[in-house]
Chain A
């Protein structure tokens, strides 16, 4: 099937283009790795592309040291907030797709709009509120914030996904006497895996990498990794091997999630989650 899609002679061109594109995408990674492995004295603009003379693994060790205490914070934050916003999004999507109450369309649109606001604009009132409810400086404050601001996108993805489920399935189950939650548990939830994958991947990426709320709403004990990463690159004279090593390390968990769930990601996108 694939071979019949292109005549043989154009296939080499396809590979050339793909390899060129791949090198464009990988070039910065090469730079990151090479810089991370250099001794600080060796890092300079003129020799940026050259391989290190001595492979300085110490940068990774040092970055790891700086990160380790924050890793726990990031993990708690990201896993909890992703799971919670995914669960809530699934329930919301179920309601909007299958049991729209009068006015549901407007409510859905209003919730969806929350996805588009610029976060710097609401930082000050947000801080005041988080502080007022006593969650400032804790990881739970961040969990609440990320869960709430994740609701619009997770609701959208699940709602689109669930509209693909035929109503007949729902009706059949209802005829058998199943109620709201029973239908969810027995019909909708088992079908939701691709939707959850898309949502979890998206939320994991967003929350793990987020900086503004992380730095404003946490204190040293509850800082996530993104803040630690910024500390590495701070100061008057930056020794670039550290931030580069740190960035590579910080990207690993999200990459891991991609590798493990990547297949389902595309399938999940396909299954109607982001169709127009």
Chain B
């Protein structure tokens, strides 16, 4: 038997080998090329940028330094901030909306299939199409702003994608402090959770870590100023339009995920809760929502990586020149293909990749570790 298992494992490896090779080349090989390009000056010298065999010099992390602390690259820094805000709102919108719709559909209304179809169909469209339609709808002079006239009110005047307003502004130089505080808070939260789960050593470890980071944030960070001048960043209200379009497209998919989960909850569980005297609200908050946690996590991963890479939608909705709705993937595209700054564009790509990895890798590790325990 063991010999058989062994042979099958070898066969298995051979079956997977082509995929391994393909992924090695198409993913890791190309990432390696991009990483290497980002460490050169490819693009700074016009006579080499588009030459047949460009000669480039190795300049180490200078592109990255420029992106985070250079005067001209303020747009990149705003893009980073915008991405964080966009991701938060997009995720919240999809999860809340998706969950709500799933719960409603789970109550089996009449016309359930029709409702499901209506909510799910935007997922079938490409981001380009969605962006084109919503661009039209959100033009300040028409579309959505004209809706109030249908009920006799005056048209709305929000500028949607063309808005230049920015709220929740902070100075880039305060960023180390802000990040430090956030990190300290996160570590403290983990410590509390560990304490509640009875794992004292872990709790103490994280609590100490949190205190250390807090000390750094308050004591050392304020003296560390990345930029020699103040630079304000914040949430661009123009993103509201993009969030609306993106949620419109992806809420249905989230709903389908939650619906699958809700359908999987055994009827006995619900009936037992009812027997124990739970009302609807308690049924949901105490039993059903906690069971949905793995789905929420899955959805957050998928939606999160879509949101970090978002490009087609923003390109179609706001074009390449709208600084107020700019996102890193779009900036990478025009830096590379319009400004001919190939190395800098590659650097932006690598930063995006690192961001994605920061979210995905812990998730993957927890998934695989879970597999071992099972």
Contact = CB atoms under 8 A, between A and B. Distances in A.
Interface stretch (A51-59, A101-109, A135-143): A101-109
B16 A96 contact: yes
A109 B368 contact: yes
B260 A109 contact: no
A121 B141 contact: no
B139 interface: yes
A40 B9 CA distance: 63
B342 A116 contact: no
Contact of B22 (A124, A126, A151, A274): A151
A114 B252 CA distance: 25
A2 interface: yes
Interface stretch (B120-128, B177-185, B224-232): B120-128
B59 to A, nearest CB: 19
B22 A148 contact: yes
Interface string A101-138: 11011011111111111111110111001000000000
A276 B125 CA distance: 26
B309 to A, nearest CB: 5
B248 A275 contact: no
A209 interface: yes
Contacts of B352: 118, 121
Contacts of B116: 262, 266
Contact of A95 (B12, B101, B261, B361): B12
Contacts of A180: 7-8, 11-12, 15
B112 to A, nearest CB: 9
Interface residues of A, number: 98
Given A121-B349, A270-B260, A152 B23 contact: yes
A254 B128 CA distance: 15
A10 to B, nearest CB: 8
Contact of A275 (B16, B298, B342): B298
Contacts of A152: 23
A251 B298 CA distance: 27
Contacts of A124: 33, 336, 342
B71 interface: no
Interface in A13-32: 14-15, 17-18, 21-22, 24-28, 31-32
Contacts of B97: 21
Interface stretch (B84-92, B142-150, B207-215): B142-150
Nearest to A25: B118
Interface string A65-102: 00000000000000000000000100110111011111
A120 B15 contact: no
A267 B101 CA distance: 17
Contacts of A104: 12
B115 interface: yes
A276 B260 contact: no
B120 A276 contact: no
B26 interface: yes
B4 A148 contact: no
Contact of A24 (B7, B109, B146, B248): B248
A2 B8 CA distance: 48
B295 A276 contact: yes
B195 interface: no
B346 interface: yes
B193 interface: no
A116 B137 CA distance: 31
A173 B137 CA distance: 58
B55 interface: no
Contacts of B259: 266, 269
A47 B123 CA distance: 28
Contact of B136 (A25, A31, A250): A31
| Shortest 9 CB-CB contacts between residues of A and residues of B | A276-B294, A121-B349, A209-B126, A45-B142, A95-B12, A99-B12, A122-B30, A269-B260, A114-B27
7 contacts: A14-B104, A27-B137, A113-B361, A120-B311, A122-B33, A229-B129, A251-B124
Given A18-B101, A45-B143, A244-B133, 9 more contacts: A22-B119, A115-B305, A117-B27, A120-B311, A120-B333, A121-B349, A151-B19, A174-B4, A270-B260
